[in-house]
Amino acid sequence: MTLRIIGKGNKERILPLTEPILQMLREVWKTHRSRQWLFPSAQLTTPMYYEAARRAFIRARSECGFDDSFRPHSLRHSFATHLLERGVDIRIIQILLGHSKIGSTELYTHLTEPLRNDLRKLLNGMTDGLFEGRRPTHG
C-alpha cells in the first residue's frame, strides 16, 4: 500500500496509498500494463513525456473550471494545507513532501480559515476565565 516516487534531483519518496487511490491507479495501469512505469510514454519504455503530462493537466484543469493560476505545483500546496487542517504533524508533511528542511514545508502550509478558527478556539480555551475577578492595575 505504498507508491514509490522519484522526484526532483532523483530523490525517492515512498507515499502511503489509500484503497480508493490504489483502485484508481490499477485502472490506469490496465490501459497500458507497463512493468516499469505507472504513467509511461506511448512507447512504454520511458516515463510519460513532460509535454503530454502538461496537456493532460491543462485539459483536466479546464474541465474542473480552474483558471491558469492553478498549476501542478498548486496540488502540492493544497495537499500540505489539507493535511495540516486535519491535524497531521508538520514533520509528517515534511516527509511526505520530501523536504530536507522544515522551513521548506512551512512555505507550503497556509493559514486557512478552518485553521484560523481552530486556533481561535484553542486560544479561547486557554484564556477562558483568565481575567475573571481581577481588576486591572495601573502602574
Q: Which cell goes with 36? A: 516499469
**pLDDT tens by residue, 2-61:** 888 887 788 888 888 899 999 999 999 999 999 989 999 999 999 999 999 999 999 999
pLDDT at 135: 66
Q: What is the pLDDT of residues 123-133, one digit of tens each?
A: 788 878 777 76
Question: What pLDDT is recorded for position 111?
Answer: 67
Which is higher by pLDDT, 113 or 4? 4
Q: What is the pLDDT of residue 138?
A: 65
Specify whether the backbone of 9 is left (phi greater than 0), alpha (psi in -120 to 50) or beta. Answer: left
pLDDT at 114: 75
Which pLDDT score, from 0 to 100, does residue 120 have?
Answer: 78
Cα 24 → chain centroid: 18
Q: 13: Cβ–Cβ under 8 A, 6 or more apart, which residues? A: 4, 5, 7, 96, 98
Mean pLDDT of 74-78: 89
- The pLDDT mean for the chain works out to 86
Q: Which of 72, 120, 126, 115 has its CA nearest to residue 90?
A: 115
